[in-house]
A = this chain, B = another copy of it.
């Protein structure tokens, strides 16, 4: 289905625009995954996918916020294999609920896991084994409605284990603190499932707050969570997680998020939001312009009062 140059991972310079990266690596019908958990979400790529009108995606992820709920609302997702879909403190996953409860904008197929077992799917995919056993999910109804999870007695001690199948998405989008143009990706703070996502996927786009030199990467090799050989494209996208926080970079924009989620409560509100914040601005730069660089700078300053990367 995807017909991408398999040698892209060997390129010494993988820099692209967000638009081109999505256009190249995310055809209709792809199986896709995103990094982020709570904070550090892939909001900019989500908006770009919606702008490009990509459809029929299979979404695999732990607890998506924008990337799950907004893509569902935009009608981009055919099937979701997830553990949770909502927005935490600021509001609920209204698009997700509308899709399941009322088939708006259309029906989606749903396969449920827990956060840990989605993490194990990526781990299994990253290390290239068909499954990893776990002790989660036992005695729950997740087993009843997910036929891909097999319960077995382990051949060593006869313990009950659930086998969690590997996943190898067509494309992973991972947002990190910084990367060089070859794709060596470094993260300050928690890294969600980024390291395994990037390796599990057939193709990987690294978006980063900042592109740095390879020399800078070499100064702190312990921070590299994804080496260049697992990466197809590198895109510099500052504030890519707004309104979410990004560790050591900018604080959570909760007032903005609250307003956004209030709009998402109705289908009309969501559609108007897409028009105002996704289509009309035309690009992520346009979105940031609309949010206001003054506000963004304030979020950056605010975060610096609390944390500053000391690497």
Contacts and interface: CB of A to CB of B under 8 A. Distances in A.
Nearest to A188: B222
A281 interface: no
A111 interface: no
A311 B154 CA distance: 43
A132 B126 CA distance: 13
A204 B134 CA distance: 24
Contact of A130 (B128, B159, B165, B189): B159
Interface residues of A, number: 29
Interface in A120-161: 128-135, 150, 152, 154-157, 159, 161
Given A220-B310, A222-B188, A222-B223, A154 B135 contact: no
A222 B219 contact: no
A208 interface: no
A32 interface: no
Contacts of A133: 129-132
Q: Give the secondary structure class of A's interface.
A: loop
A217 B251 CA distance: 23
A156 B131 contact: yes
| Protomer copies | 2
Contacts of A157: 130
A155 B311 CA distance: 45
A154 to B, nearest CB: 4
A129 to B, nearest CB: 5
A49 interface: no
A187 to B, nearest CB: 7
Contact of A220 (B134, B156, B161, B311): B311
A213 B155 CA distance: 45
A43 interface: no
A159 B128 CA distance: 11
Interface of A: 128-135, 150, 152, 154-157, 159, 161, 163, 165-166, 187-189, 219-223, 310-311
